[in-house]
Amino acid sequence: MTRADDSTRQVVVVAGALILDGSLLIAQRDRPPELAGLWELPGGKVAPGESESAALARELREELGVDVDVHGRIGADIELTETMTLKAYLVRRTGGPVEARDHRAIRWVTADELPEIAWVPADRAWLTELTIALLAARA
């Protein structure tokens, strides 16, 4: 049996929906050039042997300085390429400051603002689920 090379390995990218006081934290990309200036749920790639929740907690700590607990999934998986899938999770802040370390900017938005945001194309697929989560958080 031969081991598959890394070019055929399925890569998972995880994104975190951090909701606080009825607002969602979003991050503005600084790179790559084709996505610079667009907004996203922050996150990153899952390393080999790492769980999705551990990867998301690590990425949010690195990118935003925030510690989180990872909760349930939100929305459907999004196939970015044949070998890369994007998944979103609800997260709860447990500590640390929230600051833009790896993004051009961060901001808190409400459910009413979601449709007007210049989203990265993949994250736009979660707008309905994000709106529901934000409204539920305000209830």
Q: Give the global pTM.
A: 0.90
d(CA 101, CA 47): 20
d(CA 53, CA 51): 5
**CA-wise closest residue to 44 among 84, 92, 98:** 84
Which residue positions in the chain have pLDDT lower than 70? 1-8
The tokens for 50 are 């790492």
Burial 24-40 (b: 16+ CB within 10 A, else e): bbbbbbeeeeeeeebbb
Tens of pLDDT, residue by residue over 72-109, are 999 999 999 999 999 999 999 999 999 999 999 999 99
